[in-house]
Amino acid sequence: MKQKKTKTGYLLVTILCLIGSGLWVFRSTISSFLKSPEVLPKVETEIPKLTVKPKEITYESRIDQAQKLIENEYFIEATQVLTEAIRQKPELIEAYILLGQIHLQNNDDKKLQALIVKLNKLFPNDPAVLMLGTQRLINAHEFSEVLPWLEKSTDLPPDLLFYKAALLTLQNNHEASKTILKELEKLHVKSKAVLLEERGGQKSTSEEIRLRPEFSKKVTEFRIVYEEFADFKEGKDAHLFAKFSKVLSENNELALALAFADRSVKEDPEYVDAWIIKGYIQYQQQDFISAIKTFRKAYALDPIRPEVHYFLALALTEEGLLEEATIYFEKALEYDFEFSEDVRWKLINILLEQKKYDQVFDLYKELLAKEKDPQKFASAIHTAIEVANKPKAALELTSILIKNNPNDTFAMNMQAWAMIANKQYPEAETLLKKIQKKDKTDPRSYLNMGLLYEEQGQDEKAKTMYQ
């Protein structure tokens, strides 16, 4: 019973120490400050009540807040903020468009269509509404409708021109696509654009501005694929469409990217890279069942590709198929490729859930051979001591940590913790005093010293160290 209490107390203090060493001093100082009778003077007269008018939240601040919430995928909260923004200034379009982006990301086509109908009435012929409608059609893979819609207008904004170029590429109209891409690349350097400013709902023209950096990057990368393919004389169309698919997926144009990957697969069903790219896009779209099927097809075509093993294992993990995921992660580790370190960390998480601790510690040792940052291995020491109840394994791991980082106080503290778990009390005390000689303000050394005294039944000393 005492041991359980000790571990619980230690974990609690660990959390507090991670928050910051100044917390204890601050809390005790404030406590004594508030208890002091000299602090609060006697009030002879009644203090008049002050009425403070709450600060009004501006439309612009609501838009900024909603954008941040959307970026972090807090869609419900963002919708609430945007609803308030629309009530505040229903004549401005920004809040409506952001609401449309939420419907897009949630694949809520019914709400998105209703919003677009409303926007066409409120803001007829606004390019932002045309953009939202185009994104809806692309998201729904209704590509045959998009291009005629875009060709109705002769003065398209840059974003829609890019979609037009991409769709022309998909139709094998490469010359027309390349012409648009060249014009778009010039645009961010030479053209003057109209900047919409919220000044009473009016539009005003600004000085010359550049397009968004991420947009320019997307256009340039798309155009470069054409240049690379021109040099690749023996290349098939499947390779071209696979390269475009990769560029689009990296620029978060997932619906278009999937269309290009499908086109690549149709051009050459034996082209493994196309299947890998397609599966990864489905994984990004969180369509894990489809991703598993696609990666299985890639595996059947080339069973020794480590990327296939890795991505298939990721998709299987998301579907909770951990036993099979483990098999493919281990297959991936048979090859030294760029994701090997990530594979080991993901395998550790699966094996921990399966309580296969010996395999977990073997993986930690492999990671320690390459990764030198001791703070990444705090979880390893915690697992050995608190979860697996294997203190010797903790000491073995911390010995490697110290060897990699002989003067690092974090690594030294980890080793002291392992020594305490192995009842090597004198050695732990010597090491902790060495840390405190280097840094008298190191909170973890006092935490470990408190644990050391508590383990030896010296409770008063332990309390002093914890405080």
State both tokens at 391: 């203190």
Check whether 79 has a pLDDT greater than 70.
Answer: yes
> Mean pLDDT lowest for which of 48-52, 61-65, 177-181, 296-300?
48-52
CB neighbours of 462 closer than 8 A, spacing ≥ 6? 450, 451, 453, 454
Alpha helices per DSSP H over 46-157: 59-71, 75-88, 94-105, 109-122, 127-139, 143-151
Would the pLDDT of 307 be above 80? yes
Sign of CA dihedral 15, 16, 19, 21: negative
Tell me the whole-structure pTM to 2 decimals: 0.71
Asked whether the predicted pLDDT for residue 39 surpasses 60, the reply is no
b/e burial code for range 349-381 (CB count within 10 A of at least 16 → b)? ebbbeeebbebbbebbeebbeeeeebeebbebb
> How much is the average pLDDT of 53-58?
74
In angstroms, the CA 352 to CA 350 distance is 5
Mean pLDDT in residue range 27-42 = 40
- Show the tokens assigned to 214: 């991420």
State the Cα angle at 435 between 392 and 452, rounded to 5°: 50
CA distances from 14 to 165, 294, 410, 421, 443 (A): 56, 45, 13, 15, 10
Question: For residues 201 and 352, what is the distance between their CA atoms, to the nearest angstrom?
Answer: 57
**C-alpha triplet 338, 330, 249: angle, nearest 5°:** 45
Share of the chain above pLDDT 70, in %: 81
> Each residue of 404-427: pLDDT tens digit?
888 888 989 898 898 988 999 899
> Do residues 131 and 96 make contact, with C-beta atoms less than 8 angstroms apart?
no
Q: What is the mean pLDDT of the chain?
A: 82
First-to-last alpha carbon distance for the chain, in angstroms, is: 24
pLDDT of 12: 40
Say what the pLDDT of residue 322 is.
Answer: 92
pLDDT of the residue at 35: 40
- Write the pLDDT tens digit of every residue in 256-273: 999 999 999 999 999 999
d(CA 458, CA 451): 10
Task: Write the single-letter amino acid at 130.
Answer: L
Residues β-bridged to residue 199: 202
- Averaged pLDDT, 456-467: 88
Q: What is the pLDDT of residues 163-218, one digit of tens each?
A: 999 999 999 999 999 999 998 888 754 333 433 343 334 443 343 445 677 888 89
Confidence of residue 439 (pLDDT cuts 50, 70, 90): confident
The pLDDT value given to residue 116: 93
CB atoms within 10 A of CB 237: 14
The tokens describing 281, both together, are 């896009």
